[in-house]
C-alpha cells in the first residue's frame, strides 16, 4: 500500500484532498433510542456532500454534532481540522449553520437580522454594514431589507437565513434541508446559490430528503438508514449499486415476440405486454450490440426504450421494502 503520494494538483472530490469533515464511529442516542450507530465520513475540502435520509433518520442530529450544538456519545469527529469534543471553539469559528428551522427573527427587518449577525461575529460597525449590504444585494433582498422578516415569503426567509450564515465567512457550511417547502423556482434559485458557494471554495454539507437535489448538487452522497450509512458514493456509483437499468423491447406481433424471446435468453419476459427486458448498463456499446443482434436475427421490435435507475430506486432499495441492507433480517414496513 503506498504510504505517501507526491504532491499533485487535486480536485476537490479527490479523496486525497484534505478533509473538511471526518468522523469515525460517531454515535448518539436519545434515551434508549439509538439515532446514530457508528457513522464514518470523510468529506474533502471544497466539495458538496449530501446526507440523505427519511424523516427521523438522524440528519439534523448529525449536523448538530458536527457544528457542536450537541455532543456525541461516542466516536470522533473533526471539522476544519478541529476536534468537535476538544476544540469546539475552533470548529465554531470555521463553520456556518443554516438550520432546518429558521434562525431569522421575524420581529425585526432583514437588514437588522444581518447586522445582529455581524455584531455576533464582532465585525466593526462599518464592516458589518458593508457585508450586510453586499449579502442582501447578492441574495436579492435589498428591496425587502427594511421590512420585518415576518412579512417575507418562505424562499426569502431561506435566502436571508443563508445570507446570515455567510456573515462570518465560514469555510464549511451546513445546510439542513435548504429547500424543503420551497416551490420549484425557489428550489432552483437555492441550488444556484449553493453552486456559487462551492465555486468560492466553500465546503457544503447538506441534508435533504430529495434524491434529485442530492443528484443535482452533491459530489458524494451518503444514505442514512437506521443509524448507519447504508451506502455512500457519487450519484453514479449509488445508481450502479442497484439493478434496474434495462432496455425494453415491445412487440405487436406475437410470433416476432416469441422468436425474440427464445433467442434472447437473458431477457425477462412479459408475455402479456409482448415485451422483453434486457439488463443494460445504458452504454452506447451495449445498445449497439443489441441493435446489431436484432438486425442480424431479423427481429423487429415495435418499440425500444431505455430505462436507467435513478436515485429514487437506490433510496427505496436501501431504506425500504425488501431491504437488502437489513442485517437483522427483520420484516420491514
Ligand X SMILES: Nc1ncnc2c1ncn2[C@@H]1O[C@H](COP(=O)(O)OP(=O)(O)OP(=O)(O)O)[C@@H](O)[C@H]1O
**Residue placing its CB nearer to Mg ion in the complex, 61 or 109:** 61
Q: How far is the CB of 70 from ligand X (least distance, A)?
A: 8
Site membership for ligand X, residue 55 (CB under 6 A)? yes
Q: How far is the CB of 208 from ligand X (least distance, A)?
A: 9
Q: How far is the CB of 52 from Mg ion (least distance, A)?
A: 12
Instruction: Report the residue from 53, 110, 227, 309 that binds ligand X according to the rule CB under 6 A.
Output: 53
Q: How far is 31 from 12, CA to CA, in rounded Å?
A: 39
92 φψ region: left (φ > 0), alpha (ψ -120 to 50), beta (else): alpha
Q: Are 213 and 7 in contact (CB under 8 A)?
A: no
Q: How far is 65 from 174, CA to CA, in rounded Å?
A: 11
Site membership for Mg ion, residue 209 (CB under 5 A)? no
**Residue placing its CB nearer to Mg ion in the complex, 60 or 179:** 60
**Residue placing its CB nearer to Mg ion in the complex, 136 or 223:** 223
Which 191-210 residues touch ligand X, going by CB under 6 A?
Answer: 209
Compute how many residues bind ligand X; rule: CB under 6 A: 13
**Residue placing its CB nearer to ligand X in the complex, 142 or 209:** 209
β-bridge partners, 203: 172
Instruction: Report the residue from 17, 100, 186, 258 that binds ligand X according to the rule CB under 6 A.
Output: 100
Which 264-293 residues touch ligand X, going by CB under 6 A?
Answer: none
DSSP 41-79: EEEETT-EEEEE--TTSSHHHHHHHHTTSS--SEEEEEE
Q: Which does 321 bind (CB under 5 to 8 A by kind): ligand X, Mg ion, none?
A: none
Instruction: Report the residue from 12, 100, 102, 142 that binds Mg ion according to the rule CB under 5 A.
Output: 100
Tell me which DSSP letter residue 109 carries. Answer: B
Q: How far is 8 from 15, CA to CA, in rounded Å?
A: 13
**Residue placing its CB nearer to ligand X in the complex, 59 or 248:** 59
Q: Where are the alpha helices (DSSP H) in the chain?
A: 59-66, 88-94, 110-120, 125-138, 154-166, 184-199, 211-217, 235-241, 254-263, 284-297, 311-319
Which 60-79 residues touch Mg ion, going by CB under 5 A?
Answer: 60
Site membership for ligand X, residue 318 (CB under 6 A)? no
Site membership for Mg ion, residue 102 (CB under 5 A)? no
Q: How far is 282 from 331, CA to CA, in rounded Å?
A: 33
Quick one: angle between helices 110-120 and 154-166, nearest 10?
20
Site membership for ligand X, residue 58 (CB under 6 A)? yes
Q: How far is the CB of 329 from ligand X (least distance, A)?
A: 23
Q: Is 127 helix (H, G, I), strand (E, B) or coil?
A: helix
**Residue placing its CB nearer to Mg ion in the complex, 60 or 98:** 60
Site membership for ligand X, residue 35 (CB under 6 A)? yes
Q: Which does 53 bind (CB under 5 to 8 A by kind): ligand X, Mg ion, none?
A: ligand X
Q: Is 132 helix (H, G, I), strand (E, B) or coil?
A: helix
Which residue ranges make up the site for ligand X (CB under 6 A)?
A: 30, 33, 35, 53, 55-61, 100, 209
Which residue ranges make up the site for Mg ion (CB under 5 A)?
A: 59-60, 100
Amino acid at each position: 500500500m503506498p504510504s505517501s503520494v507526491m504532491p499533485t494538483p487535486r480536485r476537490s472530490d479527490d479523496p486525497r484532498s484534505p478533509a473538511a469533515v471526518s468522523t469515525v464511529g460517531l454515535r448518539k442516542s436519545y434515551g434508549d433510542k439509538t439515532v446514530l450507530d457508528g457513522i464514518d465520513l470523510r468529506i474533502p475540502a471544497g466539495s458538496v456532500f449530501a446526507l440523505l435520509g427519511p424523516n427521523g433518520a438522524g440528519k439534523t442530529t448529525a449536523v448538530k454534532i458536527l457544528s457542536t450544538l450537541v455532543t456525541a456519545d461516542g466516536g470522533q469527529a473533526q471539522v476544519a481540522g478541529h476536534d468537535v469534543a476538544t476544540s469546539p471553539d475552533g470548529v465554531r469559528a470555521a463553520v456556518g449553520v443554516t438550520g432546518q428551522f429558521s434562525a431569522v427573527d421575524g420581529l425585526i427587518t432583514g437588514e437588522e437580522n444581518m447586522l445582529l449577525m455581524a455584531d455576533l461575529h464582532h465585525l466593526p460597525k462599518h464592516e458589518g454594514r458593508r457585508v450586510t449590504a453586499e449579502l442582501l444585494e447578492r441574495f436579492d433582498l435589498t428591496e425587502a431589507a427594511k421590512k420585518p422578516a415576518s412579512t417575507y415569503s418562505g424562499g426569502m426567509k431561506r435566502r436571508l437565513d443563508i445570507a446570515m450564515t455567510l456573515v462570518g465567512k465560514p469555510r464549511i457550511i451546513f445546510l439542513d434541508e435548504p429547500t424543503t417547502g420551497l416551490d420549484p423556482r425557489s428550489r432552483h434559485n437555492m441550488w444556484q446559490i449553493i453552486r456559487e458557494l462551492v465555486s468560492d471554495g466553500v465546503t457544503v454539507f447538506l441534508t435533504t430528503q430529495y434524491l434529485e437535489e442530492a443528484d443535482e448538487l452533491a459530489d458524494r452522497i451518503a444514505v442514512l438508514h437506521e443509524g448507519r450509512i447504508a451506502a455512500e458514493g457519487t450519484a453514479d456509483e449509488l445508481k450502479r449499486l442497484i439493478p434496474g437499468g434495462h432496455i425494453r423491447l415491445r412487440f405487436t406481433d406475437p410470433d416476432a415476440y416469441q422468436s425474440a424471446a427464445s433467442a434472447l435468453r437473458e431477457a425477462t419476459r412479459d408475455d402479456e405486454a409482448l415485451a422483453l427486458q434486457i439488463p443494460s448498463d445504458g452504454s452506447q456499446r451495449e445498445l449497439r450490440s443489441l441493435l446489431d443482434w436484432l438486425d442480424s436475427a431479423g427481429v423487429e421490435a415495435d418499440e425500444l426504450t431505455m430505462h436507467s435507475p435513478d436515485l429514487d430506486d437506490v433510496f427505496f432499495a436501501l431504506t425500504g421494502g425488501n431491504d437488502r441492507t437489513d442485517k437483522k433480517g427483520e420484516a420491514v414496513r
